Chain A
Amino acid sequence: MELADILASLFPGGHEVAVMDNLISGSGIINAIKVHVIGIAGQSPLGCEGALILAGHVLEITRKGSAAPILVLIDSSSQRMSRRDELLGLSECLAHLAKTLLLAGAQGHRTIGLLYGGSAAGAFIATALATGTLVALPGAHPAVMDLPSMARVTKLPIEVLKAKAEKTPVFAPGLENLAQTGAIHAVWNPDQSLAEQFLALLAEQTGGDARDRLGEGRGGRPKAASIAQRVEKEASHA
């Protein structure tokens, strides 16, 4: 789905969401509920400046003191790969953005990520994976690393990687593979009203981070939930 169609389906009564330099910001109203919107469009990379602009929006929202939900729309590539970004401390800027979203969640804002295109690596961690609930639209294509690059790093032929990818969802790119590990809460239906699907999601209760148990149930991450729980238990009894 294109961004304009997504916004039209989310906000049938209209919205004030703008895109500038591939950064999304604004708000709309769904059933009398104000929803703040931020995000990345156009499969663009996330660098220092972009991360700080988005973090600034989140801080401005939390400063107002309401508990309005924050929707994060994502169609990015990876972190911007450049000498300049690393020189200036890209890790701090991306972590800062993630922290603002996590703080907003802790302050009572529902933070909902909607992955509608690509995303990868540091950009994915700092945006989509820092929301309380992440959903996706069919056709979304998240990746930690594409298979050709992975073939270079792991020194395995791409045919071998493709064959292995059929046996396990744990390393190969793609929405279905990532969903099995528990990263994606649900995949929305583009043929139905996104506003209604958003409201249904808002009505669901949320607690702590349940992604490890979700991944266990889906079979994509057999050990993460139990290992984390055992460490927590051993630490409490030590």
Chain B
Amino acid sequence: MTSANSWYEAGARQRVAAMLDPGSFAEFIGPEQREISPHLAIFDLPEQFDDGIIVGHGTLEGRRILVAAQEGRFMGGAFGEVHGAKLTGLLRAARSLGEPVLILFDTGGVRLQEANAGELAIAEIMRALVEARMAGVQVLGLIGGRAGCYGGGSLIAGCCSALIVSEQGRISVSGPEVIETNKGVEEFDSRDRALVWRTMGGKHRYLIGGADAFADDDVLAFREAALIVLAGNGRLDADVLEAEQQRLEHRLHRFGEAHDAIDIWTDIGVSEPTEIPGLATDEFLRRITDKREKANGAR
């Protein structure tokens, strides 16, 4: 199922290397500076010298770009104090430099061992992101990693100018286990993987306009998609938010009674909707042409 260049299987550094022009990446506050979390030791947990995120700059087809990549294999890619502050600083720089940003999400959300600092970091990132976009800067989110894009990470994604997802790219505020723990297995059976994928996965998000581009689970496919999306405009203003308000109200009105993703896909007019989860990318895209809901920049 996964190729040698699988985005899902790759680590953060591999993704960045494959995304940018060869040899163009330079990291800010790299691991050699050993800026570790000041809080994990309280829990007797091992630190990592980059605190689970890489930020820096490079070029994409010769164009200068800023990039952040989360490492989903360290603490589930969760946002702690240092991890979050690196992304905040990058987005503040993007605003003053006027340079586009790629955020390679791979996160379970806030790191609970430093929950207050992580939660506030999410808020600071969202503010810096929105201020960059109001200055005309594009901020793209790329989602297809092991940890998905959950919790506060999904709210940051919701502030991006565009999102690129693969089938593996799950986006959700409450994770399956959290819903099950709080509301019971009748509400959400977290062990039902098929339910998780069709409720939160990349195909569903792409079908309802929650994402703007759909990529194969392949680092080069993500790169190609990013190049296409970067040709657009990412400015955030009052008109964009008015349009997003209408888009989301329309979605609740149209699909609000749906019980399952299959109901929504049926309503959209996709033929044989139950086959959607099993389709390869080409066939999936062919099957949904002119059917899916599009954001058209209203985000």
In the assembled complex, A194 has its CB within 8 A of some CB on chain B: no
Q: Name which residue of chain A comes closest to B257, CB basis.
A: A84
Interface positions of B from 155 to 214, Cβ below 8 Å from A: 155-159, 171-174, 178-179, 181-183, 187-188, 199-200, 204-205, 208, 210
- Shortest beta-carbon distance from A192 to chain B in Å: 27
- Shortest beta-carbon distance from A72 to chain B in Å: 13
Chain A 39-57 per-residue mask, 1 if CB under 8 angstroms from chain B, else 0 = 0000000001100100110
- Shortest beta-carbon distance from A146 to chain B in Å: 10
* CB-CB under 8 A for A98 and B155, given A83-B179, A89-B205, A212-B85: yes
Q: Which of B10-18, B124-132, B284-292 contacts A (4 or more CB under 8 A)?
A: B124-132
B114 touches A171 (CB 8 A): yes
In the assembled complex, B89 has its CB within 8 A of some CB on chain A: yes
In the assembled complex, A168 has its CB within 8 A of some CB on chain B: yes
Bound complex: CA A96 to CA B159 (Å): 7
In the assembled complex, A102 has its CB within 8 A of some CB on chain B: yes
In the assembled complex, A133 has its CB within 8 A of some CB on chain B: no
- Shortest beta-carbon distance from A86 to chain B in Å: 5
Chain B 111-148 per-residue mask, 1 if CB under 8 angstroms from chain A, else 0 = 01111111111111011101100100000000000000
Interface centre among B56, B126, B200, B299 (most CB of A within 10 A): B126
Tally of contacts, chain A with chain B, CB under 8 A: 278
Chain A 116-134 per-residue mask, 1 if CB under 8 angstroms from chain B, else 0 = 0000011011100110000
* CB-CB under 8 A for A82 and B179, given A100-B241, A130-B123, A164-B43: yes
The number of residues on chain B lying at the interface, defined by a beta carbon within 8 Å of a beta carbon of chain A, is 89
> Is the contact region of chain B dominated by helix, strand, or loop, or is it mixed?
helix
Interface positions of A from 143 to 164, Cβ below 8 Å from B: 144-145, 149-150, 152-154, 156, 164
In the assembled complex, B110 has its CB within 8 A of some CB on chain A: yes
Q: Name which residue of chain A comes closest to B128, CB basis.
A: A209
Chain A residues whose C-beta falls within 8 Å of the C-beta of B199 in the assembled complex: 83, 86-87
Interface residues of A (CB under 8 A from B): 48-49, 52, 55-56, 59, 62-63, 79, 81-96, 98-100, 102-103, 106-107, 121-122, 124-126, 129-130, 144-145, 149-150, 152-154, 156, 164, 167-172, 177-178, 180-183, 209, 211-212, 215, 220-225, 227-232, 234-236, 238
Question: Could you list 11 examples of A-B contacts with CB < 8 Å?
Answer: A79-B174, A85-B173, A90-B173, A91-B210, A106-B134, A125-B122, A130-B126, A144-B112, A153-B112, A221-B117, A225-B85
15 new A-B contacts at CB < 8 Å, known A86-B179, A222-B81, A224-B85: A87-B260, A91-B172, A91-B210, A98-B159, A121-B119, A122-B152, A122-B155, A144-B118, A150-B115, A169-B116, A178-B116, A211-B123, A224-B81, A224-B120, A228-B89
